Chain A
Amino acid sequence: MTRSNADRDKLVSELMLDAGVPGDALLKASLESIAGLSALPAPAPRGELAALLGVPSVDPDGGTNPDGDELAGRRRRKHRPAIVAGAVVTAMGLGIGGVAASGGLQQNSPEFIQSLIAGWAPQGNPAPPSLVPAGPVPDAPKVTAVPAPSSLPTAQAAAGTPQSLASPSPSAVPGHASTGNAPSAGKSPAALTEKKAEKPHKVKPKVAAAARKEDRPAGTVRPGPSSPAGSSQMSFRDSVELMLNERGRVGGKAVEDVLRRIVRLGIRF
């Protein structure tokens, strides 16, 4: 096995004798310290040497390149954040691309929202709060009171206009009026159909509503219908026709109620 201290002493003494410097204690001590390197333990065999000696390798991977796997692990750890970052950037890119491909919300939002609102209105609600704002209501009586006397001539003169179509509704021409009335009101079709369905129960406001309706064309003041639902006029006409066809002209009274309701809403607006 390894050399003993006596063997090292013998080696050093022989060397010093050969070199012609025997008896130097300091030099001998230093030389013995150098000779002590031979007492190092044999390193544990690894890899091919372990296989050659028939002993199990110190490293489970064979130990031929013990740093290889460790470096590979460190490379994987270094690459992992880059992979995650790449995945995040890709996901964000896909999301942004999807939004861009859809045209964006800002460009299509008005038509898109209008289409949604046109097709979606609360059912069973005779007077939706969104359609009847609190502000304009008090003003309605004033408008009706002042221009009331001059209602008849102006109404006939404007019979061809869409505004006057609502005038014959009180009792004169319930059936015909419905066809020509369509473009006037400018209301959303869904809301109007609902109001018509519930209207038959309310008969009281007919007269007042008629008066207001006739006053309207005289004053030529119709700020309400045009501004909030200007884009839905066509859909209103279609909806009225569709309603009449489906219901098969349920009755003059019902149609009148619908028209009165329309006119009332128009006044409020």
Chain B
Amino acid sequence: MTDALTDEALQALRGNDAELFSAVYQSFAGQVLGYLSAKGVQDPEALTQDVFLAVLPRIHAISGGVKGLRTFVFSVAHARMVDDHRRQVRVPEHQEFEAERDTREVLSAEAEAMDRVAPGEVLALLGFLPEEQREVLSLRIIAGLTVEQVAEIMGKSQGAVKQLQRRALTTLREHSAVKEYVAP
């Protein structure tokens, strides 16, 4: 895993908040957006910006270099995702759809990227998984976290995380939709 932001670059940018913030945002914002999109939050872009509004002011207190920063960023993203899911459960949002006001297809970079990656079917794949398996899989392959980091974020043991990811892969492999999606 080769991020543009390395420990050396992070150390060099200390004291220059504007460039440091921009570098951190550009390094992690796309992954956070992908993670939140995979988790099915209501407004992934807005929540992504909320995550960095919480992370960037505290960036000087983070230890552990880029690895520690990644863990912290996705810890905040995970917490915001959980809050968003709880809010959706409490108050399901019912919005009247007005086609003339719906400009998301044109303006959203997320939608364009989703079409480029796999139109709609990636989220459908994740939708087959239970919540915890989905969370582990997202943190592992979208956020790029290790089992230890995922365990720390989710508050579980490493063995539990490994068990969850194993079940997740088994579910995906056995699911018929996986074969339909991958088949030419």
Interface residues of A (CB under 8 A from B): 1-4, 7-8, 10-12, 15-16, 18-21, 24, 26-27, 29-31, 33-49, 52-55, 70
Contacts and interface: CB of A to CB of B under 8 A. Distances in A.
B157 interface: no
Contacts of A46: 49
A34 B125 contact: yes
Contact of B169 (A16, A35, A41, A52): A16
A52 B182 CA distance: 42
A11 B101 contact: no
**Chain A to chain B: the 4 pairs with minimum beta-carbon distance, closest first:** A37-B34, A42-B29, A36-B117, A35-B141
A40 B34 contact: yes
B135 interface: no
Q: Tell me if A's interface is mostly helix, strand, loop or mixed.
A: helix
A31 B118 CA distance: 12
Q: Which range holds the interface residue count of chain B? A: 35 or more
A36 B33 contact: no
B81 interface: no
Contacts of A7: 1-2, 144
Nearest to B23: A1
Contact of A41 (B113, B125, B168, B182): B113
Contacts of B86: none
Interface of B: 1-4, 18, 21-22, 25-27, 29-31, 33-35, 37-38, 45, 48-49, 52-53, 56-57, 101, 109-110, 113-114, 117-118, 121-122, 125-126, 137-138, 140-144, 147, 162, 165-166, 168-170, 172-173, 178-179, 181-182
Given A30-B181, A38-B143, A54 B22 contact: yes
B109 A19 contact: no
A27 B172 contact: yes
B165 A38 contact: no
Nearest to B134: A34
B22 A53 contact: yes
Contacts of A45: 25, 49, 52
B122 A34 contact: yes
B26 A1 contact: yes
B35 to A, nearest CB: 7
A154 B101 CA distance: 98
A53 B56 CA distance: 9
A42 B26 contact: yes
A10 B173 contact: no
Given A1-B27, A11-B140, A37-B35, A24 B173 contact: yes
A99 B15 CA distance: 80
Contacts of B53: 48-49, 52
Nearest to A16: B169
